[in-house]
């Protein structure tokens, strides 16, 4: 029988890739959407699946909409990808962030428990929960130390998922996802901000890329591979929690350097601290600078994940490495700008 999957956060990066994966596997995919309209369906459109996903109205802040959709759809699998997912914004919008990222998870779990259709549940948890990291690399047993309203709320989402599994025997899994990127990443996140802005500079549409902390290190993977891990978790014999990562950490500075190279710049750094400048040796122009505007009240210095458990139990391993990821993203943005300017 055709399986039905409900995906919250369908308009986001992961929602789009997961919908594509599940459609390819023969699922009927229902996208939980809080807005309606087709203005922001660009990701589904880019993947050529906008007409294949059936949209249903759900806002994670509206528990009745969740109860109603679980009752009418009776999904075999529920993937909770919806979130206020931008860490920086969570300092400005802590209450909304907590409501969506923490309470939203509980509303979903409670709706699934109430209706008892046996829906399997995936929660998109975050490596940001490790925050002020207690060890490097981080694995499923590493102590959490969240350092932003975003990650504190995600920690509730993680533990309530574990709690519903243990208390009620629900098939509920938490994927502790390290940063994962792609050409479909939002422009507010540093990787896509870098590649989209450098592409615009390359073709004369902009002068500068202005960034915050260049020294932060992240374990950046390729998003289409991460949604496959989500699916694998729900196909396992027993529910569990898994770190999904590449095992490599790179700095924002390294990302800028590699992306600049792919974009055809010859970047050299001049100065230090907030006065540092990235200069293109070919044109002599400053193309990168730093502004304290993008520094965070509390920063995560390094994230690097140990994905051994996912490899051993799910047979999952990352395939796309850092340099290749930067190339994929930079080339996609160069292509987009070329198409835009004709």
| 202 conformational bin, left if phi > 0, alpha if psi -120 to 50, beta if neither | alpha
Q: Which residues have a Cβ under 8 Å from the Cβ of 265 and sit 6 or more positions away?
A: 198, 202, 280, 282, 287
Q: Does residue 127 touch ligand GDD according to CB under 6 A?
A: yes
- Cis ω on the peptide bond leading into residue 137 (within 30° of 0)? yes
* Among 8, 65, 80, 85, contact with ligand GDD (rule: CB under 6 A): 85
Q: Does residue 212 touch ligand GDD according to CB under 6 A?
A: yes
* Residues 286-315, interacting with ligand NAP (CB under 6 A): none
d(CA 269, CA 288): 9
Q: For ligand GDD, which is the closer residue by CB, 75 or 146?
A: 146
Q: Does residue 174 touch ligand NAP according to CB under 6 A?
A: no
Q: Does residue 216 touch ligand GDD according to CB under 6 A?
A: yes
Q: Does residue 151 touch ligand NAP according to CB under 6 A?
A: no
Alpha helices in 203-321 (DSSP H): 223-235, 252-263, 308-314
d(CA 307, CA 321): 14
Q: For ligand GDD, which is the closer residue by CB, 99 or 213?
A: 213
* Among 55, 124, 214, 233, contact with ligand NAP (rule: CB under 6 A): 124
Q: Does residue 232 touch ligand GDD according to CB under 6 A?
A: no
In the complex, what is the shortest distance from the CB of residue 105 to ligand NAP, in angstroms, rounded to a whole number?
A: 9
Q: Does residue 13 touch ligand NAP according to CB under 6 A?
A: yes
| Burial of 105 from C-beta contacts in 10 A (0-12 / 13-18 / 19+) | buried
Q: Does residue 213 touch ligand GDD according to CB under 6 A?
A: yes
Q: Does residue 161 touch ligand NAP according to CB under 6 A?
A: no
Identify the bridge partners of residue 285 per DSSP, sorted by sequence position.
280
C-beta atoms surrounding 99 within 10 Å: 16
Q: Does residue 35 touch ligand NAP according to CB under 6 A?
A: yes
Alpha helices in 132-222 (DSSP H): 149-168, 190-202
Q: Which does 81 bind (CB under 5 to 8 A by kind): ligand GDD, ligand NAP, none?
A: ligand NAP
Q: Does residue 87 touch ligand GDD according to CB under 6 A?
A: yes
How long a stretch of residues is the chain? 342
Residues that bind ligand GDD (CB under 6 A): 85, 87-88, 126-128, 178-179, 188-190, 193, 211-213, 216, 218, 252, 294, 296, 299-300, 303
């Amino acid at each position: 029988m055709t399986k039905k999957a409900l995906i919250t956060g369908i308009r986001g990066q992961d929602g789009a890739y997961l919908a594509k994966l599940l459609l390819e596997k023969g699922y009927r995919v229902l996208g939980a959407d809080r807005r309606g309209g087709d203005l922001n369906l660009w990701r589904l459109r880019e993947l050529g699946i906008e007409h294949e996903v059936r949209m249903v109205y759900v806002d994670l802040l509206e528990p009745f909409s969740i109860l109603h959709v679980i009752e009418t759809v009776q999904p075999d699998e529920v993937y909770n990808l919806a979130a206020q997912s931008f860490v920086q914004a969570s300092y400005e919008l802590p209450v909304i962030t907590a409501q969506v990222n923490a309470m939203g998870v509980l509303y979903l779990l409670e709706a699934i428990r109430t209706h008892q259709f046996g829906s399997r549940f995936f929660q998109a948890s975050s490596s940001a929960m490790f925050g002020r990291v207690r060890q490097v690399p981080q694995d499923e047993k590493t102590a959490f130390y969240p350092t932003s309203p975003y990650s504190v709320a995600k920690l509730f989402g993680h533990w309530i998922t574990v709690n519903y599994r243990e208390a009620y025997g629900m098939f509920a899994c938490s994927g502790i996802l390290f940063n994962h990127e792609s050409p479909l990443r939002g422009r507010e996140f540093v990787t896509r901000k870098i590649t989209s802005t450098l592409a615009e500079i390359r073709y004369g549409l902009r002068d500068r890329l202005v960034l915050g902390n260049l020294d932060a290190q992240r374990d950046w993977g390729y998003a289409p591979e991460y949604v496959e891990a989500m699916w694998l978790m729900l196909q396992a014999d027993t529910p569990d929690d898994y770190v999904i990562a590449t095992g490599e950490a790179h700095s924002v500075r390294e990302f800028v350097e590699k992306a600049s190279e792919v974009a055809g710049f010859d970047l050299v750094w001049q100065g230090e601290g907030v006065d540092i400048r990235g200069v293109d040796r070919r044109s002599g122009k400053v193309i990168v600078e730093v502004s304290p505007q993008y520094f965070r009240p509390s920063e995560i210095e390094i994230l690097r994940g140990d994905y051994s458990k996912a490899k051993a139990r799910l047979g999952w391993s990352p395939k796309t490495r850092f340099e290749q990821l930067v190339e994929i993203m930079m080339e996609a943005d160069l292509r987009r700008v070329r198409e835009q300017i004709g």
